Amino acid sequence: MPLPDEFLQSVRDSNEITSVMSTYVSLKRAGRDNVCLCPFHSEKTPSCHVYTDTQSFYCFGCGAGGDVITFIRLIENLDYIESVKFLAQRAGIPMPDDERDQSGRIKQRLLEINREAARFYRDVLISEKGEEGRRYLSERRLTENTIRKYGLGYAPDSWDSLKNHMLAKGYGEEELITAALISRSRKGTTYDKFRHRVMFPIIDRRGNIIAFGGRALEAEAQAKYLNSDETPVFHKRSGLFSLNFAKNTKEKFLILCEGYMDVISLNQAGFDNAVATLGTAITPEQARLMRQYCEQVVISYDSDGAGQKATMKAINLLSEAGVDARVLQMSGAKDPDEYVKKYGADGFRMLLSQSGGAISFELRKLTEGLNMDSPEGKSAYLKKAVNLLAEVNNSIDRMVYISDTAKLCSLDSGEIEKAVEARRRSKAYSARLEERRELINPPRNDPKGLGLKPEQKAQRGIIAFLFHSPDMLNKVESRVSEDDFSDEFYRRVFNIAADRIKKGVSVDLSSIGDEFSAQEVGRITGIINENNLLPYQKERLSEYIRVLEKQRDRYGGKKPEEMSNEELLEHMERIRKEKRR
């Protein structure tokens, strides 16, 4: 049973889209609407538009779009019902009874399981069995307050301690497998996934325990850190450890670390703006997530080779997400945890103040392995530096780095500037050529609707008309049917919209959200937006209908795949004759 129209309207009215989106992105006024950097793909210039009159958004870069419910689905990684609940709770509106919420109930059950597992690990840590775990945390100089704050625990060196505890609490084995807390062997037996490890609960922005990380206490362990597998409530690529604390910081920047202990040690030292990725290298999703809370990130990775390689990747992804990246240059310690222990909070604060820009860091890296006192070394460096500096879009920043490069090589900055500008012109020319190629041969899935066939435009136009003027359904159905919609997705949208109109219920982005994925709602939003540029006149609708009728007549009322061989040959001969005329 669908959610009542009146309830959905109340949820939308109580959650004005710019008010909701402004808590995640920085909106800028553009006429009567707003624009922002899209939080769902990396970009440097705003392509996401927020329309106040229709209470919708649409990104012309990636095609994401919809109403406020769709935005929450995408930004919070929730399903339709969970997104409605999220907004209803935000506005203090009670949810109507709904028996369909199976997915939501499963996720809620998993969160309950994780909470109980966290209690178990915590209780074991403070018991006699947790002595090794307490000793490890003591050696890492964590206070009792910090241990409580992060809910740290200990998984005993046992194959079934957690499993037996959870079964006694009424949870089933299959539920525990789904929660990634126990695993099944090839023989069919089940066992605890985490054993003899200090446990780090992973908490999302809403305070839910969604997963765990476990640090091995035995030197010969295959994996020093073991993280939960992905579950319906946990997605490694889209979360950050300790963001539940960092999102409330008063600082204007975030500190990006490699590991859980780095973050916890910094937080204990007073740096509540530290976060870490969840057992993986930084992802585009995590870079965009950080952009929601800051405009600058200080990368504080380990000083070893792997850490420096990861730093380069982080610089690039943060830059693509529109975040100003700075790099911490540590000496005398291998990671932030060790540094803050050796030099204290004041020492680390001074290190932060001396952090350099990402471009300076990359330029310094280019000198590695080169003899900068020799002409050959300088030449090799300059070739790499020119390519790098050509990527710097801000002209003032570019001039500063060109000047620094000139001093390093004892050259005139004007010559380097000429080389950089020549490289920029070459790149711009290549980009224009590529743009022309796309205009001539647009991709089939182009979100802007370029290169569509007449019948595709007609199908999209009729769909937009049904959303704008549901009373036109009789006019449409008197002349065309679902069989005239050759595109499977358009046919599905047409059928669902027509069915809702016949039942006398709303046809809008909110009401259909339960029938489509968030990505599909974005496609529908794009269809509506492109048709909003033209007046909704009956003549335009009639033309769309004529196009589909003509398409149907070309095939004698049949699709090519439905024709016999003889019918298909006759059809092809008829087309050849028409072309000769």
User: pLDDT tens for residues 373-403?
Assistant: 888 888 998 988 888 888 776 677 788 889 8
- SS3 of 344-382: HHHHHHHHHHCCEEHHHHHHHHHCCCCCCCCHHHHHHHH
pLDDT given for residue 316 in this prediction:
78
Q: Name 366's Cβ contacts closer than 8 Å, sequence gap at least 6.
A: 381, 384, 385, 388
The model carries a pTM of: 0.67
At residue 435 the predicted structure's pLDDT band, cuts being 50, 70 and 90, is: very low
Q: What are phi and psi of 337, to 5 degrees?
A: -60, -50
How high is the pLDDT of residue 439? 39
Predicted local confidence at residue 434, as pLDDT: 59
Residue 315 has pLDDT above 90, yes or no: no
| pLDDT at position 438 over 50 | no
For residue 527, what are its two tokens?
Answer: 């269809």
End-to-end CA distance of the chain: 56
Res 302: pLDDT? 77
Residue 445 is predicted with a pLDDT of 41
For residue 568, the model assigns a pLDDT of 58
Strand partners of residue 226: 214
282/258 Cα distance (integer angstroms): 9
In this predicted structure, the answer to whether residue 99 has a pLDDT above a threshold of 80 is no
Query: What is the mean predicted confidence (pLDDT) over 318-333?
Result: 84
Question: Percent of the chain at pLDDT above 70?
Answer: 89
| pLDDT at 248 (0 to 100) | 87
pLDDT at 215 (0 to 100): 95
pLDDT at 427: 79
Give the pLDDT of residue 441: 46
Tell me how far apart the alpha carbons of residues 369 and 302 are, in angstroms, rounded to a whole number: 21
CATH top-level class for 5-91? Answer: alpha beta
Asked if 284 contacts 311 with a C-beta cutoff of 8 angstroms, the reply is: no
Average pLDDT of span 22-44: 89
State the pLDDT at residue 389: 86
| pLDDT on residue 112 | 95
Q: Tell me the helices (H) and strands (E) count for the chain, helix number first.
A: 24, 16
Q: Are 94 and 88 in contact (CB under 8 A)?
A: yes
Q: Give the span between the Cα atoms of 243 and 223, in whole angstroms.
A: 25
| CATH class of residue range 454-580 | mainly alpha
Percent of the chain with pLDDT over 90: 46
User: Which whole number is the average pLDDT over 431-446?
Assistant: 49
pLDDT, tens digit, for every residue of 509-532?
888 888 898 899 999 999 998 888
- Which tokens is 555 given? 């095939």
Higher pLDDT, 454 or 119: 119
pLDDT digits (tens, 9 = 90+) for 267-283: 999 999 999 998 778 98
Among 167-181, 286-300, 314-328, 420-434, name the one with the lowest average pLDDT: 420-434
Q: Token match 């949820």: residue?
A: 11
48-51 and 56-59 strand pairing: antiparallel
CA 293 to chain centre: 14
Q: Look at residue 291 in the predicted model and tell me its pLDDT.
A: 87
Predicted confidence (pLDDT) at residue 578 exceeds the cutoff of 70 = no
Residue found under tokens 């109507």 = 96
Higher pLDDT, 433 or 173: 173
d(Cα 497, Cα 538) in Å, to the nearest integer?
Answer: 19
Q: Does residue 68 carry a pLDDT above 50? A: yes
pLDDT of residue 3: 81
pLDDT at 202: 96
Q: How confident is the model at residue 31 (pLDDT cuts 50, 70, 90)?
A: confident
Average pLDDT, the chain: 86
Per-residue pLDDT averaged across 343-367, rounded?
84
Structure tokens at 335: 């990671």
What band does 443 get if pLDDT is binned at 50, 70 and 90?
very low
- State whether residue 130 is helix, strand or coil: helix
Supply the pLDDT for residue 107: 85
* Candidate CATH numbers 3.30.559.10, 3.40.1360.10, 2.60.40.10, 2.40.110.10; the one for domain 247-357: 3.40.1360.10
pLDDT in the model for residue 175: 95
pLDDT higher than threshold 80 for residue 78? yes
- Does the pLDDT of residue 285 top 90, yes or no? no
If one counts every other C-beta atom within 10 angstroms of the C-beta of residue 294, the result is 19
Nearest residue to 30 via CA among 45, 13, 14, 43: 45
- Spatial distance between the Cα atoms of 241 and 204, rounded to a whole number of angstroms: 8
Closest CA to 352 of 279, 260, 241, 252: 252
Looking at residue 261, what is its pLDDT? Answer: 95
Alpha carbon distance 521, 514 (integer Å): 10
Q: Which residues of 9-28 are buried (b: 16+ CB within 10 A; e: fewer)?
A: eebbeebebbebbeebbebe
Task: Kindly tell me if the per-residue pLDDT of 449 is higher than 60.
Answer: no
pLDDT higher than threshold 50 for residue 332: yes
- The pLDDT assigned to 525 comes to 93
pLDDT classification of 446: cutoffs 50, 70, 90: very low
Q: Quick count: other Cβ atoms within 10 Å of Cβ 248? A: 10
Domain 102-234 has CATH 3.50.50.60: no
Read off the pLDDT band of 164 (50, 70, 90): very high
Domain range summary for the chain, segments of one domain joined by +: 5-91, 102-234, 247-357, 367-440, 454-580
The full 3-state SS of 376-408, as one line of letters, equals: HHHHHHHHHHHHHHCCCCCHHHHHHHHHHHHHH
* Residue 538, helix vs strand vs coil: helix
Tell me: pLDDT of 563 over 60: no
Query: Phi/psi class of residue 289: alpha, beta or left (left: φ > 0; alpha: ψ in -120 to 50)?
Result: alpha
